[in-house]
Amino acid sequence: MRPGARSAIRYEADEKPPARLAFGLGLQIVVVTISSVVLLAAIVFRTGGAEELLSWGVFAAVLCCGVSTILQALRLGRIGAGYVIFVGTSSSTIAISVTALAEGGPTMLATLVAVSGVVLIALSARLSLLRRVLTPTVTGTVIMLLPVTVMPILFDMLNRTLPGASAAAGPVSALVTIAVIIGIGLKGTGTLRIWAPLIGVAAGSLAAGWFGIYDTGRVAGAAWFGLPEGRWPGLDLHFGPAFWALLPGFVFITLVSATRSIGVAVAVQRVSWRRPRAVDFRAVQGAVAADGAGNVLAGLAGTTPSAPYPVSVSLTELTGVAARRVGVATGASAIALAFLPKVLALILAIPAPVVAASVMVVMAMLFVTGMREVLQGGTGYRTGLIAGVSFWTGAGFQAGMILPEFFSEFAGGLLQNGMTSGGLTAILLTLLADLIGTRGSRFRGWLDRDELPRLNEFLGAFAARGGWGADMEGRLQAVSEETLLILLQRDEEGDESGDRSGSGRRRLLLTARKEGGGAVLEFVAGAGDDDANLQDRIGLLAEHPDAEDRVEQEGSLRLLRHFGSSIRHQKFHNADIVTVRVDAAAPARGAS
């Protein structure tokens, strides 16, 4: 097995498992998550005083979430991540959605949700502008906080049973569910481990049935097939004062949702391949765009906003199946359930303690995924400070322990959500660190070999200002030359393959700055859509240093890996960004 391989992955994202397996896993994800979709939508419509639209709102929410999940998996053009990402009702938008219903009615809510979706789509097209804050430290912290925001709800659900039930019914049912899932996860292999969550839910439901807390009356009273009662609310296109008063709040929530989409999109890439890969930010852009498209669809359908659920990431890691076909099957299962009230009732009748226990297991695994993502940003003092302060800030707000008399009312209580407050803290600390850090020198030109003399002159002056000698100057110039040649060859390969994104010259921006006794060079070049990722290829060379050279470009990769102590390549639809750190003491022996 190759070093760094993930032996637990049975099917990677681009592989095709049997259809029966894919639909079984898709139904498993729906079973674990559908109650949240329905309950959150019901909370919004009931609390907002729109009881008459409850049936329609729940039906539309399940239907739209199924379509959005399929969009995430298929990656149609620039919409979708191309990974298994379940989309459900957004919990962070409950407060602002209830306010919209109360002040403007269902049509106002529908319009605001649709507009917020358009904002997300626009943001996804220029996500590279946010690269300073889209660091592993920020996204990893947000991922770690996702379980923190969900756990209080899950703990409350553990004791939620039918009236008159035994006091032991909830805890015992939850304990059976957790024990079965963990037991299979630890001792099971192959196919058995894939079905661990579903087997656990089934075992917990049997225990709940023994105590008489499985709601069979809900199932018996539901129709087998049909449409919901109620009507489509329509849209409010008058854009009156209420709309403009509520719009800023929805836009802010949209930015928070984008952070969540980014975190989930990054996390799912970490668990979907056998050999660890660099994060493909084009997939992250696609996830944000699909999130926006899903919200546009939800608004047009007259239901609540949606957002990616992190539970699918944990289930992917637990089952070892990351194939896109599972995402399509998950969405199709949700769509089918929207038209099958009895089947939906069968799932909704699963007692709350059983659902909570199954989600708790996968949330615990998600926390570890976030920790791994933070460590991708390094283990230095800056990373630890940002991640530590942000995480505990989020946890403190989530627990209502940070000035609750003030923040409980501020912005509608928005900061009481740990993911929101912790994520914003991580972003602000990252921006502050960049602001007070050493300002870099900039070179602007073209991605062209003819620019090499100017580049060398620029780096020579930069090295002189830094107090470095000829050795450091030579290494900086070598890194610059090899990076330029690599990006140029990627363009040429794109032209030969008919990729029009590589035609013509691209603009080049090089930022050079001192950091920690060394230098950091950041190369930003126009648009590029080929599949070769510089960081992945350097990592492959690190795993196989004696492998036969297969492409002319690998000589440059080896030189870049020799001179750069770390190399990071971010791919966006509209930009290639290569960041190389060069230590002043001695040439590095490997890249991270």
Q: What is the pLDDT along the chain (592 residues), one digit of tens a residue?
A: 444 444 477 888 788 888 888 888 888 788 777 777 876 777 677 666 666 777 788 888 889 999 999 999 888 888 888 888 888 887 667 666 777 777 777 888 888 889 888 988 888 877 766 666 667 777 778 778 777 776 776 777 777 766 767 777 778 888 888 888 888 877 766 556 666 777 788 888 888 878 777 766 666 666 787 776 667 777 777 777 677 766 766 776 676 667 777 878 888 888 888 877 767 778 888 888 998 999 999 989 888 888 888 777 877 877 788 888 888 988 898 898 888 777 666 766 777 788 778 777 767 777 877 787 777 666 667 778 888 888 888 888 777 777 766 665 555 555 666 767 787 888 888 888 777 766 678 888 888 888 889 999 999 899 888 888 888 888 888 888 888 887 787 666 554 434 444 445 678 888 888 877 788 888 888 754 444 555 555 554 454 444 433 333 444 555 566 666 677 777 776 677 888 888 876 544 443 3
Return the HEC string of 42-72: HHHHHHCCCHHHHHHHHHHHHHHHHHHHHHH
What Å distances lie between residue 480 and 96, 443, 556, 561, 582, CA to CA? 49, 12, 11, 12, 11
- For the record, the structure tokens of 444 come out as 């602007």
The answer to whether the CB of 439 falls within 8 A of the CB of 513 is yes
User: Would you give the distance in Å from CA 394 to the centre of its chain?
Assistant: 18
Q: Please say whether the beta carbons of 269 and 280 come within 8 A.
A: yes
pLDDT score at 417: 66
Radius of gyration of the chain, Cα coordinates, nearest whole angstrom: 25
Q: Round to whole Å and give the CA distance between 112 and 97.
A: 9
HSE-up (13 A, CA, CB side) for residue 581: 15
pLDDT at 387: 83
| pLDDT at residue 106, rounded to an integer | 83
Q: For 571-581, give one letter per residue: b (16+ CB within 10 A) or e.
A: bbbbbbbbbbb
C-alpha to C-alpha distance for 580 and 522, rounded to whole angstroms: 6
Contact assessment for residue 22 and residue 269, using Cβ atoms and an 8 Å cutoff: no
Q: What is the pLDDT of residue 563?
A: 65
pLDDT at res. 495: 43
What does the pLDDT read at residue 458?
92
CATH code of 441-582, in short, is: 3.30.565.10
Domain ranges of the chain: 19-129+151-264+282-376, 441-582
Q: Which of 458, 583, 568, 434 is nearest to 508 (CA)?
A: 458
Extract the tokens encoding 248: 């800023």
Q: How far from chain centre, in Å, is Cα 461?
A: 41
Rounded Cα distance between 272 and 9, Å, is 7
